[in-house]
Chain A
């Protein structure tokens, strides 16, 4: 009995140390599967010698090692799921961008000029873009508030003191798109002045600006 347990202890010790090799090692490993005494002896020696392992300085393994382990085990772990989902999200985002970009690129209007209409010394209240060879205007309300029972009206102001030409009533919020009458297009050149007046609701009753609030000059688009 004592001899047996001594033998077992020796075997377990050399197994844990690693000097038990070849057929002896294979045989002992087989015994370890079914012999609780052998398991206990190995567990004891593993604990005894653990400080030798602890004495080694740790080294950080490369990040891909964990992925290799997951892959080999076929674990559909979160980080594994994350990659395809991330890719799918990226692809979807790319598709959405392309879907918006293609029409945008194909139908993007040509911007001829831009004017920032501001009060004297103030921030722009409206930004007006002249598009498609002066056929269209895009008016963006930037920093302006609606006035009850009043309307804002946009004007082209010709040089040399000619009378301003109405480009219509514009909304104080959001964007207004406006077709430009053929006879007015010639006024919307670089350097021309645009103005916005405050009018009674519905627009100027006289055909000339009542109170000019904001003004600016058409300049080439920055892009």
Chain B
């Protein structure tokens, strides 16, 4: 029951994103006009490669609220989320040179680092902590993301459209893995399905997503 609630919560978030698309689009447009665009994060990260501390602190100011929100979503504990964001920015600074602007924008590169820190933490802690719903309740009001330019709304719409085309099990597996950092084994336990079946849900779901996104 709880499992189902959790997964549908993720789906609800996705649905809300699309439902609020116009609002979010406008908010992001406003953010873009005030100079906070995805291109800023790219430029700042590139500047970090040259050791520009000003750019590094700018990158932190620009991206940390979104990253902290995501870390809290995955870890459900403020202290862990803080540590994940800290580890993330330490890695960004030390490995900025690994960022390849020709392969894609900065933010997804940063998000991969952050989620890896979160996953490391989750997998280090045994057994997995129960969801901290009281911590979830302290989440502040949702404000517009200062991140991304107006581009993001299109990407979100596209992804949502493709996620909607997935089978229920595939969609649930992928969203749970993304937002709760569940492994195949944990997914199998959560969804009460054999491990092999869950692996195939994830793999096939991702393959369908790719076909949809790149079509």
A145 part of interface (Cβ distance < 8 Å) = no
Q: In the complex the two chains form, is A61's CB within 8 Å of B187's CB?
A: no
Give the total of A residues in contact with B, Cβ under 8 Å.
Answer: 40
B60 part of interface (Cβ distance < 8 Å) = yes
Given A18-B178, A56-B66, A57-B139: A50 in contact with B111 (beta carbons within 8 A) = yes
Min CB distance B204 to A, Å, is 10
Given A18-B115, A68-B86, A73-B90: A52 in contact with B159 (beta carbons within 8 A) = yes
Question: How many A-B residue contacts, CB cutoff 8 Å?
Answer: 164
Given A55-B156, A59-B68: A47 in contact with B108 (beta carbons within 8 A) = yes
With both beta carbons as reference points, the residue of chain A lying nearest to B114 in the complex is identified as A53
Q: Mark A32-70, 1 if CB is under 8 A from B, else 0.
A: 000000011011111111111111111111100110110
Q: In the complex the two chains form, is B100's CB within 8 Å of A58's CB?
A: no
Min CB distance A73 to B, Å, is 6
- Chain A residue contacts of B206, Cβ below 8 A: 10, 13-14, 17
B125 part of interface (Cβ distance < 8 Å) = no
* Interface secondary structure of B, over-half rule: helix
Partner-B contacts on A (CB < 8 A): 9-10, 13-14, 16-19, 21, 39-40, 42-62, 65-66, 68-69, 72-73, 75, 77
Partner-A contacts on B (CB < 8 A): 13-14, 16-17, 53, 56-57, 60, 64-66, 68-70, 72-73, 81-82, 85-86, 89-90, 93-94, 100, 103-105, 107-109, 111-112, 115-116, 119, 123, 139-143, 145-148, 152, 155-156, 158-160, 174-175, 177-179, 181-184, 187, 202-203, 206-207, 209-210, 213
Closest 3 CB pairs of A and B: A46-B108, A58-B65, A57-B142
